[in-house]
């Protein structure tokens, strides 16, 4: 269960050159939502769009390809995408909602569907939930500290941020690259991430992330019937290039290793929380 239930796993990238130009890796989320929007599989998608401050995302309900393109790329700070889940069906009146989110947001989404106490009209309107691999997230000020103090780069001059190969990287508009060891960023992580037991968004319809695939490509897990339906149609329509996951390096072994690492580490955090005080502890949300 380290990688969750899935029907297929592939390495893929978007066929659309415009999408790939500014995408984080293989442009899977933008391409799949674009396809779903064009085909009427979704009426709109909740995505993390640029906000008022540089690299501070703001969730929006995107209903056009232009809005999806503007929201491309990973922002390594919190975007409360679930905030709009009811708004999308009510104020925006969408019948078929797409949403992208981290593993914890997929957990929130599925809890909202199964226990829709305050989620009237939500459960049956989730048409496509795309999950993204996530080790942890940073509060905005934490990200600002990493980028400005550690990487010596102004937030507004960064054009891309990336985590991979043990490093946090910031690319600037003038072509400079600033890198620091990922270990230096750990203390800025948000504490709520340290009890999360999911790396690969087990509860999404389709989940994706760079780990396991070559540069410019993404690893994709197709998990549910809904996910399989949309994914297979998108493949048939030529929206993605794919490679057999078994043929690419480093492949699923690395995904499994990272996922296991996250789960083991965070299980230890949960255990430590239980006895933090003297005969007292902190809450475990899973029991």
Partner 1 sequence: MVNKITVGHVHMSGCTGCLVSLADNYEGLFKILDDYADLVYCLTLADVRHIPEMDVALVEGSVCLQDECSVREIKETREKAKVVVALGGCAAYGNVTRFCRGGQWNQPQHESFVPIGDLIDVDVYLPSCPPGAEAIRNVCVMAYLLLQGTDEQKALAAAYLTPLMNLAKRGTEACGCDLMYDIINQGLCMGCGTCAASCPVRAITMEYGRPNIDREMCIKCGACYAQCPRSEFSFDVINQFEGIMEAIDGAMGKGGE
Strands (E), 31-166: 44-50, 57-62, 97-101, 126-132, 158-164
47 binds partner 1 (CB under 8 A): no
Contact pick of 207, 218, 224, 266 for partner 1 (by CB under 8 A): 224
101 binds partner 1 (CB under 8 A): yes
> What are the structure tokens assigned to 68, written together?
């999806």
77 binds partner 1 (CB under 8 A): yes
Contact pick of 8, 63, 70, 110 for partner 1 (by CB under 8 A): 110
121 binds partner 1 (CB under 8 A): yes
Cα–Cα distance between 32 and 27 in angstroms, integer?
Answer: 8
Give whole-number Cα distances, 268 to 262, 264, 271, in Å: 10, 6, 5
71 binds partner 1 (CB under 8 A): no
> What are the structure tokens assigned to 70, written together?
């503007």
Interaction pattern, residues 136-155, with partner 1; x per rule: CB under 8 A: -x-xxx--------------
Contact pick of 17, 66, 93, 117 for partner 1 (by CB under 8 A): 117
- 138 phi and psi angles, rounded to 5 deg: -115, 140
- 32 phi and psi angles, rounded to 5 deg: -70, -40
282 binds partner 1 (CB under 8 A): yes
Beta bridge partners of 8: 222
Q: What's the min distance (Å) between Cβ of 185 and partner 1?
A: 17
Can you tell me whether residue 27 is helix, strand or coil?
coil
- Residues of this chain that interact with partner 1 (CB under 8 A) are 59, 77-87, 101-102, 104-105, 107-108, 110-124, 137, 139-141, 190-197, 202-203, 224-225, 273, 282-283, 285-286
């Amino acid at each position: 269960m380290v990688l969750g239930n899935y029907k297929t796993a592939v390495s893929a990238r978007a066929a659309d050159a415009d999408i790939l130009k500014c995408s984080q890796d293989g442009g899977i989320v933008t391409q799949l939502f674009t396809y779903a929007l064009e085909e009427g599989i979704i009426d709109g998608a909740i995505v993390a769009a640029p906000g008022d401050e540089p690299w501070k995302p703001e969730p929006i309900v995107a209903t056009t390809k232009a809005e999806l393109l503007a929201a491309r790329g990973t922002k390594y700070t919190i975007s409360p995408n679930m905030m709009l889940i009811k708004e999308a069906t009510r104020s925006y009146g969408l019948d078929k909602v797409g949403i992208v989110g981290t593993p914890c947001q997929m957990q929130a989404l599925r809890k909202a569907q199964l226990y829709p106490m305050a989620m009237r009209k939500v459960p049956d309107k989730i048409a496509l939930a795309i999950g993204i691999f996530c080790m942890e997230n940073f509060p905005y000020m934490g990200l600002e500290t990493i980028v400005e103090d550690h990487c010596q780069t102004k937030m507004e001059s960064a054009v891309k941020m990336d985590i991979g190969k043990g490093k946090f990287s910031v690319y600037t508009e003038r072509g400079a690259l600033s890198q620091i060891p990922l270990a230096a960023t750990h203390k800025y992580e948000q504490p709520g991430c340290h009890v999360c037991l999911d790396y690969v968004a087990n509860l999404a319809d389709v989940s994706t992330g760079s780990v396991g695939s070559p540069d410019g490509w993404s690893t994709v897990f197709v998990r549910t019937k809904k996910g399989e339906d949309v994914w297979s149609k998108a493949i048939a329509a030529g929206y993605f290039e794919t490679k057999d996951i078994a043929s690419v390096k480093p492949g699923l072994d690395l995904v499994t290793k990272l996922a296991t690492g996250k789960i083991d580490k965070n299980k230890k955090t949960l255990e430590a929380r239980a006895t933090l005080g003297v005969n007292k502890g902190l809450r475990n949300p899973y029991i």
